[in-house]
Structure 1
Amino acid sequence: MAGVVATAATAVGLFAGTNIDDLVVLAVLFLSSRATGVLRAGQIWVGQAAGFTVLVAVSVGAALGLGIVPDRWVGLLGLLPLALGALGLVRAARAQRSGEPVPAVAATGPASVMALTVINGADNLTVYPPVLRTIGVGSAVVTVVVFAAGVVVWCLLGSWLGSHRKIVEVVGRWGHWIIPAVFVIIGVIILLGSGVLSTIR
């Protein structure tokens, strides 16, 4: 039981850390829905669920494909989120110096919300497969269930945030720093936890 709780807690942290940007997108979508009425709240829920299902399905498939890779080398995949996070931090610093605006989010229906979710969460595909591959089948199932619950919580939070324009602005401002920092941390954890560095030495 303790193992399941620990796995669930880890999955919660993984979901939250890799989807802060998605929360910002959801908040903006719900805000836009209230302001324009073009996109209904139900369409946002459906699109978000469908998009994240695609991301998880691709991640599970990729994790199964990693079965041909010896366990001691799977940890090298931690370099992907590490590099992505480092690049994100560089871009965030560059954007801050140049004063670049945050790109606008546009969607008109469930399909466009789904596409937005997949595109926005594509970087998660560098994190989820190696994690799912290294934690075992039982823990992977628990993780996927937590992710499903996370989508519901994210939509609820996004709806709440979307009713507070100031909160959207704050989350949007700091999210550019938090998200890549989390990816760097995840990459380091994968590298250290897998023991691949010891194998290399």
Structure 2
Amino acid sequence: MILLAQAAGLFAVTNLDDLVVLALFFAQGAGHRHAARSIAIGQYLGFAAILGVAVAAAFGATFLPEPAVAYLGLLPLALGIRAAVQAWRHRHDDPDSPTTGRAAPRALEVAAVTFANGGDNIGVYVPVLATAGPAGMSGYVLVFLVLVALWIAAGRYFATRPLVARALSRWGHVLLPVVLIGIGVLILAGGR
């Protein structure tokens, strides 16, 4: 029971920023068929990659030299710039049309942002998993994977609340690039 609470707390603390990004992705996908599925698949792919690297590193494997980790910030930075360019191109489109000029998020885009944004998660998860032992590590991973579903549901919930949905519908096309570019810059700056 203690491990469950520790895993849930660790997940929540390290993924609060991801909840905001998920809500923005769900707002971007509003009105697009299968957008929710693509977002969920992307979130699981990205988080599975985070866990894969963290588990491997907990067993002593390292995939990237420490200075190279900062370059993961290029992924959300590039996606943010792309979203900003799209928002600029469609700035005169009808704002009442939820899908005008906005493409639904793709699973691999969501996965890339999730993984890049999870670099700090890896740094936190590795020592915890390394000291938890095989059974504890399995418990953490299982709890994390269950909580990803809760995070997806919460992101979708927030994006569909009338007040939040109106704000995201009106400002989401601006917020998403700003958040993605900000995440990219923070990751790049954190590696120096």
Fold match (TM-score > 0.5)? yes
Q: Distance in 1 between matches of 2:122 and 2:15?
A: 12
Q: How far did 1:135 drift? A: 1.7
In structure 2, the residue matched to 1:31 is 27
Q: Distance in 2 between matches of 1:104 and 1:129?
A: 31
- Work out which of the residue numbers 99, 109, 117 in structure 1 matches 2:106: 109
Q: How far did 1:125 drift? A: 1.2
Matched-pair contact (CA < 8 Å) for 2:23–2:156: yes
Q: Distance in 2 between matches of 1:130 and 1:142?
A: 15
In structure 2, the residue matched to 1:179 is none
Cα deviation code 1:37-82 (max 9, x no counterpart): 387110000000000000000000000007xxxxxxxxxxxxxxxx
- Work out which of the residue numbers 124, 127, 130 in structure 1 matches 2:127: 130
TM-score, length-scaled by structure 1:
0.58
Q: Does 1:121 align with 2:131?
A: no
User: What one-letter code is carried by the residue in structure 1 that aligns with 2:6?
Assistant: T
Structure 2 counterpart SS, 1:29: helix
Matched-pair contact (CA < 8 Å) for 2:25–2:105: no
Matched-pair contact (CA < 8 Å) for 1:38–1:108: no
Q: Distance in 2 between matches of 1:44 and 1:157?
A: 13
Structure 1 counterpart SS, 2:105: coil
Matched-pair contact (CA < 8 Å) for 1:63–1:130: yes
Matched-pair contact (CA < 8 Å) for 1:59–1:128: yes
Distance 1:17 1:38, change over 3 A: same
Matched-pair contact (CA < 8 Å) for 1:29–1:105: no
Q: Does 1:59 align with 2:31?
A: no
Instruction: List runs of 5+ in structure 1 lacking aligned partners.
Output: 67-102, 177-201
Q: Distance in 2 between matches of 1:13 and 1:166?
A: 28
Instruction: Quote the RMSD (CA, aligned, Å).
Output: 2.6
Q: Distance in 2 between matches of 1:167 and 1:104?
A: 24
Q: Distance in 2 between matches of 1:105 and 1:132?
A: 36
Distance 1:164 1:104, change over 3 A: farther
In structure 2, the residue matched to 1:8 is 4
Q: Distance in 2 between matches of 1:25 and 1:160?
A: 13
How many residues are aligned here? 130
Q: Does 1:147 align with 2:141?
A: no
Q: How far did 1:122 drift? A: 1.4
Q: Distance in 2 between matches of 1:155 and 1:39?
A: 14
In structure 2, the residue matched to 1:182 is none
Q: Distance in 2 between matches of 1:152 and 1:104?
A: 28
Q: Distance in 2 between matches of 1:163 and 1:104?
A: 25
Larger helix percent = 1
- Work out which of the residue numbers 11, 26, 35 in structure 2 matches 1:40: 35
